[in-house]
Amino acid sequence: MMITKMNSGFRALSAGVALSLLLMAVPNAYAATPKDTLVEGFAFDDILSMDPAEAYELSAAEITGNTYSLLVRLDINDTSKIKGDLAESWTVSDDHLTYTFKLKPGLKFASGNPITAEDVAWSFERVIKLDKSPAFILTQFGLTGDNVTEKAKATDPNTFTFTVDKPYAPSFVLNCLTATVAEVVDKKLVLQHVKPATPSADYKYDNDFGNSWLKTGFAGSGPFKLREWRANEAVVLERNDNYYGEKPKLARVIYRFMKESSAQRLALENGDIDVARNLSPTDLASVEKNPQLASTNAPKGTIYYISLNQKNPNLAKPEVQQAFKYLVDYDAIGKTLIKGVGEVHQTFEPKGLLGALDENPFKLDVAKAKELLAKAGLPDGFSVTMDARSIEPDTGIATAIQQTLGQAGIKVEIIPGDGKQKLTKYRARNHDIYYGQWGNDYWDPHSNADTFTNNPDNSDAGTNKTLAWRNAWTTPELDKQTKAALFEVDTDKRAAMYREIQKKYLEASPFVFLYQQTEVAGYRKDIKDFKLGPSFDTNFVWPISK
């Protein structure tokens, strides 16, 4: 009776009150979620900002992917294709330098403000001038704070032109524009929340382009709008009734922060949540045996790895880097810790992407690792620290690697923490060993090839903060080969170029690639059309109903 009354009255409650009721639910007490609300258990402790110009974490990208629109999107039914979102059509000049987009007519932001080409142009401008972590996805086309208003501009209210500096393969440029950093913000709304800034040598503009507000605010036009984000507590989305496409069937989506797999499984079984997003192999098996529940999975373009900071003189030795690759029990990890949620994969391009190398040459070989350590002048090993996120299967995998490294005399202290803590330390290059994950910024092989090879300025003041930079590693020859692949329009030849780069990377690099994610989720059987996408920003919730 109490459940029935709560459900019938829920629609009249504000999202904030509704959220409070759901968050207060006792984990072991049945508390059915409302029919117009989807509740997901999700470990999103990596979120640092909701501003598309700044957000660079996997969980944040999932949220903005559901709340902001782009000029073009990846076609999740055929990832070799791009489809229009705000753009009705587009053309590419014969010299492959100018891209012209025509917007769909009559579009509106969630605020009710019209979407114009000027909003698109200003969204590009603020990304370039703020120059936050994901800005390189656009600056790589020659955009600077000085030229962006000419290179990315509105030529009329419904026409946006984008001029790049070199004749890249058009598929590469368009794939980059599907990245979350290219999401379009409501210029008129954001300008109401701009804060003044003091120009300096590092930042020459007199305002923050609304960045302080957009860290937790919202100025988008996607199917849902962001109502609230409480760090390590909840993210609340509400239906955007101004959305130009097919309207979401649900009134709201609530992501409840739940760190432990077992807690998610219990909440799912009890009906406290509709979807469990971070299930361990053991809990996934339990879900699959429950007649009230179902599960789904999808191969993901997310790679898990450990990286060795070259600022540490021991880790900077090539023999040590190779030794690490022989001190992981890939078979054991694959059969137990990632069973059903991942597949052993030892290169940086995920399977399913153009040019991915499907070779796993390394296996646990302590004797070979000891020989390499001896050549490096470290026959007795050394002590080192490893940063790892306090979430499964990360903790279990980090512990397993700690144990096998110990067999060769490498004593590892694991430093656990939440996603925000680990990422902040990693981005400051203050780690020894980092265990983490990386998902493509856009569905093109250059996304991963670039971040793992490109490091033009290895100083701490370097602004191109790729994964190679974060680990203080430079590889000029591979970087040169990666850039050359950008201009190859023959698909087969381009794929071969990326395979060659990966082969050389296996021979010498401070990265140990562990596995490719198979994303899984458990859900209650009254959930309809729940589907996991191929990338971290394509887990779309607007088609879902109950």
pLDDT digits (tens, 9 = 90+) for 101-150: 999 999 999 999 999 999 999 999 999 999 999 999 999 999 999 999 99
**Residues 422, 448: contact at Cβ < 8 Å?**
no
Mean pLDDT, rounded, of the chain: 93
The CA distance from 545 to 530, in Å, is 8
Residue 216 confidence (pLDDT): 97
- CATH for 169: 3.90.76.10
Q: Are residues 281 and 332 in the same domain?
A: no
Residue 297 confidence (pLDDT): 95
Tell me whether residue 130 is in a domain.
Answer: no
Look at residue 429 and tell me whether its pLDDT is greater than 50. Answer: yes
Residue 98 confidence (pLDDT): 98
Q: Are residues 273 and 370 in the same domain?
A: no
- CATH for 240: 3.40.190.10
Q: Are residues 163 and 82 in the same domain?
A: yes
pLDDT digits (tens, 9 = 90+) for 442-468: 999 999 999 999 999 999 999 889 999
Q: Are residues 339 and 478 in the same domain?
A: yes
Number of domains making up the chain: 3
Q: Are residues 312 and 331 in the same domain?
A: yes
Q: Are residues 92 and 72 in the same domain?
A: yes
Mean pLDDT of 520-532: 97
Mean pLDDT of 162-172: 95
pLDDT digits (tens, 9 = 90+) for 312-344: 999 999 999 999 999 999 999 999 999 999 999
- At 241, the pLDDT band (50, 70, 90 cuts) reads very high
Q: Are residues 358 and 269 in the same domain?
A: no
Look at residue 68 and tell me whether its pLDDT is greater than 50. Answer: yes
Q: Are residues 448 and 317 in the same domain?
A: yes
Mean pLDDT of 19-38: 64
Mean pLDDT of 28-40: 80
- CATH for 513: 3.10.105.10
Residue 401 lies in domain: 299-518
Tell me whether residue 194 is in a domain.
Answer: no
**Residues 141, 179: contact at Cβ < 8 Å?**
no
Tell me whether residue 202 is in a domain.
Answer: no
Residue 235 confidence (pLDDT): 98
Tell me whether residue 20 is in a domain.
Answer: no
- At 19, the pLDDT band (50, 70, 90 cuts) reads low
Q: Are residues 375 and 482 in the same domain?
A: yes
Tell me whether residue 334 is in a domain.
Answer: yes
92 contact partners, CB below 8 Å, separation of at least 6: 98, 99, 170
Tell me whether residue 285 is in a domain.
Answer: yes
Mean pLDDT of 231-255: 96
Tell me whether residue 306 is in a domain.
Answer: yes
307 contact partners, CB below 8 Å, separation of at least 6: 433, 434, 436, 467, 470, 471, 510, 511, 512
Q: Are residues 493 and 532 in the same domain?
A: no
Look at residue 292 and tell me whether its pLDDT is greater than 50. Answer: yes
Residue 23 confidence (pLDDT): 53
Closest residue by Cα to residue 440 from 237, 172, 257: 172
Q: Are residues 345 and 455 in the same domain?
A: yes
- At 80, the pLDDT band (50, 70, 90 cuts) reads confident
In terms of pTM, does the model score above 0.85? Answer: no
Q: Are residues 498 and 464 in the same domain?
A: yes
Look at residue 21 and tell me whether its pLDDT is greater than 50. Answer: no
Tell me whether residue 1 is in a domain.
Answer: no
Percent of the chain with pLDDT over 70: 94
